[in-house]
Structure 1
């Protein structure tokens, strides 16, 4: 009886045809390597003479009746239109189901509605994605990792089914491998990070920092917890310039942390701001950060920094492969 139940569970798994944008080719190959049920498919990413996309989906007839997914990276406004064009077409090719994997929802970090006239770009992007055509299998499944603001979960309409995943399990697995795994404290740079992640990391002692305004400056201070004598790991969803993380590290070190590391799911790092974290360049400190963990949700960053100390890339490939079976 037990053997029959195992057979049923295996046959229920989906064979998925995975398309991907050019930036995500390396991640797509890692995802396909996770399972024999995932087959990579290709798109000809060409342009007309005027610069507009001239796209062709290979093997379009072969994916009829099949489960199809697209791995996207909206790394800049310039590449969004061509990917949206593909995303809107794939569900209409008589596929059994369609899943969009967008590991990093980029506009979410710029949602600052403080006065009349501010444009809600995250809401606009959510509306665009909410209008993906319905496939034969129903609404599109939309897989996103560690979306920046909790309210953005409710921006999506009824024509998509958002599946919100997190990279935190990758961090926890990596922390278990450290020699000082029993001496870890998790720090959050602000209350927002604490709200997003503290329930996922409740087995660790916690330190919370906060930003206060003094004159024209915003200064990071210790709000609660004791970092003294611990290896402190700062956890947040994303990093841009990295200024807050650096100030947080200084505060933790001043309060007795023996080591400070950092984890962010999305290493955005515009204008090569990751360079300020390199051990040889870190503002007079050889090793201000022992480790700096990111995922491969931002493929251009991964290509730029690789695994150069203190950076380590924790791949989302296994997690995405599992999400494609949901």
Structure 2
């Protein structure tokens, strides 16, 4: 303890609040005195600063806790590290390789991971996930393409395997839901294959962070979200905003009309395309009947 210009006569200081007694007893304070306003500055080993100020001999002592300041450069680095702390390991099927590479080029937070797609002599898949131990605790996504029944089984095998590798979260991106148009029964005996595929995807194992997220673009009917079980969270996105931007960039954007193939398509998308004149399917049928 060191003092500079001690007051005359010396005054008795009130004890610090009881809740801070442990901090004062376990640290070595450094005090400085000033004759004008009788201020005391204390610094402790825990990097916190206590300012004790007594304006006059009769006023109470005020203790203010000031948190340690963070340099602006350090704060910027800390904020940047937090912003980029979430990295995604993106796997993909063979058909989606080009798209996956384009996606990864848009962000440094996406890291491409590879899968070896092979087959045995009988034609059944022989698959291998490279560096499986390296994705433990990571956010993992798989870019799928169910373009034909023949590729669904091998991709489902990978989809079921990835969440079991102790990953933090798992996101399945399926841009096109192929059986979406077969979502209802019109006659007894019809098989709603959309419900079948939804049940298969709903059996995806649950990763550490919770249910799998399933991203689908422009599914045929929004009510198909109720076909999925609780182990998967369907997230329906749309490419209509991209279509609108492209149409608005055309030189004759003021002379464009939107034609729908049927009433179902009109019900599904007409609210998103209300900025353009619309032609319903009945009008198209009338034009065809009239020879246009």
State the Cα distance separating 1:8 from its structure 2 match. Answer: 7.4
Match for residue 70 of structure 1? Answer: 142
Tell me how far apart the structure 2 counterparts of residues 25 and 162 of structure 1 sit (CA, whole Å).
23
Alpha-carbon displacement from aligned partner over 1:43-71 (angstroms, at most 9, x marks no partner)? 00011121111110001111001000001
State the Cα distance separating 1:175 from its structure 2 match. Answer: 0.7
TM-score of the aligned structures, taking structure 2 as reference length: 0.69
Q: Among residues 234, 242, 247, which one is paired with 1:170 in the alignment?
A: 242
Q: Any unmatched runs of 5+ in structure 1? A: 212-218, 223-249, 255-326
Match for residue 54 of structure 1? Answer: 126
Q: Given the alignment of the two structures, is residue 201 of structure 1 paired with residue 273 of structure 2, yes or no?
A: yes
Q: Any unmatched runs of 5+ in structure 2? A: 1-71
State the Cα distance separating 1:39 from its structure 2 match. Answer: 0.9
Tell me how far apart the structure 2 counterparts of residues 10 and 202 of structure 1 sit (CA, whole Å).
41
Q: Given the alignment of the two structures, is residue 221 of structure 1 paired with residue 286 of structure 2, yes or no?
A: yes
Compute the RMSD of aligned alpha carbons. 2.5
Q: Among residues 18, 22, 25, which one is paired with 2:97 in the alignment?
A: 25
Alpha-carbon displacement from aligned partner over 1:182-237 (angstroms, at most 9, x marks no partner)? 222222222111111112122222221239xxxxxxx8236xxxxxxxxxxxxxxx
Where do 1:135-214 residues align within 5 Å?
Answer: 135-210=207-282
Q: How many residues align?
A: 218
Partner of 1:19: helix, strand, or coil?
strand
Alpha-carbon displacement from aligned partner over 1:292-319 (angstroms, at most 9, x marks no partner)? xxxxxxxxxxxxxxxxxxxxxxxxxxxx
Q: Are the aligned partners of 2:183 and 2:224 in contact in 1 as well (CA < 8 Å)?
A: no
Where do 1:88-103 residues align within 5 Å?
Answer: 88-103=160-175
Match for residue 86 of structure 1? Answer: 158
Tell me how far apart the structure 2 counterparts of residues 129 and 252 of structure 1 sit (CA, whole Å).
47
Q: Given the alignment of the two structures, is residue 34 of structure 1 paired with residue 106 of structure 2, yes or no?
A: yes
Match for residue 134 of structure 1? Answer: 206
- Over alpha carbons, which structure has the higher Rg? 2
TM-score of the aligned structures, taking structure 1 as reference length: 0.62
